[in-house]
Structure 1
């Protein structure tokens, strides 16, 4: 399944050629069908979805807010947390009635997302797979980030244990987790397939699809924080002996 998500399989290449040879209306319908299938696959994996903005001409956002700080990256409704759902009929209605919309998935309900610079993410992913670690769904964003989907931390008995998602400085310090963003309760990320403002290749796409089981976040965190620290220091050479957390 994931082989068709990354756009590099032979069958996907033949599909692209077929689409280029069809009339625009037919091609658009086929594209919509593929988009809908990917969204439903995410929902079937338990990722709650809600409609989001999409790119508009001139590097603008479909929300038409002047100076939108996150063009095509935010929900369309302020009620996105309660609106988010895995209900198939609702997602089908949204996808068909809003054919250009991106979709977000709300974190902290079923899953969290560890969001890292793409270079660090690729290094960590290779390392984790080589070690035989069960890595869950992973998405790559055209704005230079990689998203590692994990199980959520759950609802702690002490509500003070929750941290917000200004990120880069939580749950520890920025020095210990450079470049890492932990999306938990109250946050969201774009779910593939999604389009970003700019060139056509600026997309959010699956590297490992949602058919992969969600792992515990702590099984990935050490490799991700190590890779982020090396990325921040400009050193791409893995240091397999470095302890975690990183202390002075």
Structure 2
């Protein structure tokens, strides 16, 4: 009798989250920590924090001292996600990387421009709330405002911010309630292990954010 090859059993979501969290610590040497998670009740997805109006359901810190709990140990990560299998994966910024936070409409424009210019790029995420995070070397937070002024922009004119020490970003495949999952627009690879400095990206990001701001003003005038 012929043997029928069965399809592999798909991993449960908790297993996927654990695998990704471990990979971030082992392959990228990033610290990670477990955030909130989604709970299902009466056909709805609710954040474990219990707030009905949670702005980032299932994708924010679960405790106040989250920074102290962030770990780069795969053993520790397995222990943490063993307790909360579906907890979100959050990455503290200001340690091995900072993140430049822009609207995704501007981010995709900047990403295409940077690729055409063959600029060095680190990993880039896109979130369900229409933001993009460009990973850069730590220290961007204290440089961005001055860099923008040097190239002719006032920081208040642009929807561009740096996430640094004391902040965090959500990592794929973390989900924001029913909005979808955080995804990689530019995934971590061996080629982008060495992150760019903020100076290498700021002009393209400022240009794209400036265009976005001008388009928004034009829409309001119609």
Q: Same fold (TM over 0.5)?
A: yes
Task: Kindly provide the CA deviation profile for residues 46-70 of structure 1, in whole angstroms up to 9, marking residues without a partner as x.
Answer: 3211111123343531111353343
CA distance change for structure 1 residues 37 and 85 in 2, over 3 Å: closer, same or farther? same
2:62 alignment counterpart = 76
Q: How far is the alpha carbon of 1:115 from its aligned partner?
A: 1.1
- Hey, what does 2:18 align to over in structure 1? 36
Which residue number in structure 2 is paired with residue 129 of structure 1? 115
Over the aligned positions, Cα root-mean-square deviation in angstroms equals: 2.6
| Partners of 2:169 and 2:104 in 1: CA distance | 15
1:162–1:223 distance in 2 versus 1, CA, 3 Å: closer
Check conservation: 1:39, 1:192, Cα contact below 8 A.
Answer: no
Aligned residue number for residue 231 of structure 1:
212
Instruction: Look up the match of 1:191.
Output: 171
CA shift, 1:32, in A, is: 3.8
SS at match of 1:174: helix
State the distance in 2 between where 1:67 and 1:162 align. 34
Helix, strand or coil for the counterpart of 2:169? strand
Summarize the Cα distance change of 1:223–1:43 in structure 2 as closer, same or farther, 3 Å threshold.
Answer: same
1:32-181 equivalences under 5 Å are 32-44=14-26, 45-57=28-40, 58=44, 60-153=46-139, 173-175=155-157, 178-181=158-161
Q: Is the 8 A contact 2:125 2:134 kept in 1?
A: yes
Higher helix share: 2
Quote the Cα distance in structure 2 between the aligned partners of 1:70 and 1:154: 24
Aligned to 1:204: 182
Any unmatched runs of 5+ in structure 1? 1-17, 156-160, 164-170, 236-248
- Contact 2:170–2:182, Cα closer than 8 Å, also in 1: yes
Q: Provide TM-score, normalisation by structure 1.
A: 0.71
Deviation at 1:71, TM superposition (A): 2.3
Give the paired residue count: 196
Decide whether the 8 Å contact of 1:56 with 1:197 is kept in 2: no
Q: TM-score, normalised by structure 2?
A: 0.78
1:14 match: none
What's the offset of the Cα at 1:110?
1.7
- Per the alignment, residue 217 of structure 1 pairs with 198
Instruction: Tell me the secondary structure at the aligned position of residue 203 of structure 1.
Output: coil
CA–CA separation in structure 1 for the residues paired with 2:213 and 2:117? 23
